[in-house]
Amino acid sequence: MLLPMNIADVIFIQPKRHNDARGWFRETYSFERLSEFGIPRFVQDNESLSVAPKTVRGLHFQRAPFAQAKLVRCVSGAIYDVAVDIRPDSPTFGLHVAARLDASDGCQMFIPEGFAHGFCTLLPDSIVEYKVSRPYAPESEGGIAWNDPALGIAWPVADGVATVSDRDRALPRLAYATL
């Protein structure tokens, strides 16, 4: 089931799970089926493990011409997943959507190009897998401070408690970011 979110083009996906005596089966990606909804073909899969809960990664993005769409899911543990609209001409510029992605239900979030993405782990040993539509290009990477008050994100962790990399702590607020 595909559910639109409060910002156009961001989609929450609830894959159907088929249970039987052996366990269960779930289709996590079908280009044919998802392309009908504007979801592109992906070229790379990424995976991260965050050992401690309350670990924040992001908010990251790639600038054009290497901007990336992402299909994000949590395969172990749970995360609070966030997408911030950074499309300069968008009526929702600077606004965000967020959703809990939990390994137990397999839900996913599609994030189109033009969004910064980040997440906070809610459980220990959370593993996040995400597909991207373009390869990583270091010269095109950018980011926004996860705790920028102008974004109004209700993170499930306070700034002084979150585990954040030095690189992410140094990211600028949206008003000063090079988009």
Give the CATH number, domain containing residue 109.
Answer: 2.60.120.10
The parent domain of residue 74 ranges over 2-164
Q: Which residue of the set 60, 80, 96, 117 is catalytic? A: 60
Q: Which residue of the set 18, 117, 130, 136 is catalytic? A: 130
Report residue 117 as tokens.
């993405």
Q: Cα torsion for 15, 21, 22, 26, to the nearest 10°? A: -10
Instruction: Please tell me the distance from the alpha carbon of residue 60 to that of residue 119, in angstroms, as a whole number.
Output: 10
Q: Residue 178 falls within a domain, yes or no?
A: no
Going by C-alpha positions, the residue among 45, 129, 5 that lies closest to residue 79 is 129
| Confidence band, pLDDT 50/70/90 cuts, at residue 17 | confident
Question: How does pLDDT run across 46-87, given as a tens digit for each residue?
Answer: 999 999 999 999 999 999 999 999 999 999 999 999 999 999
**Total structural domains within the chain:** 1
Q: Please, which residues have CB within 8 angstroms of residue 6's CB and are 6 or more apart in sequence?
A: 95, 97
What percent of the chain is modeled with pLDDT above 70?
100
Q: Residue 177 falls within a domain, yes or no?
A: no
| Confidence band, pLDDT 50/70/90 cuts, at residue 38 | confident
Report residue 111 as tokens.
């994030």
Q: Residue 118 falls within a domain, yes or no?
A: yes
Q: Residue 89 falls within a domain, yes or no?
A: yes
Which is more confidently placed, 1 or 179?
179
Q: Residue 176 falls within a domain, yes or no?
A: no
Q: Residue 131 falls within a domain, yes or no?
A: yes
**Does residue 176 have an active-site annotation?**
no
**Does residue 60 have an active-site annotation?**
yes
Q: Residue 170 falls within a domain, yes or no?
A: no
Q: What phi, psi does 174 have (nearest 5°)?
A: -55, -40
Average pLDDT of the chain, as a whole number: 95
Q: Residue 172 falls within a domain, yes or no?
A: no
CB 141 within 8 A of CB 47: no
In this prediction, residue 62 carries a pLDDT of 97
What is the pTM (predicted TM-score) of this model? Answer: 0.94
The distance from CA 29 to its chain's CA centroid, rounded to whole angstroms, is 16
Torsional sign, CA 37, 111, 3, 75: positive
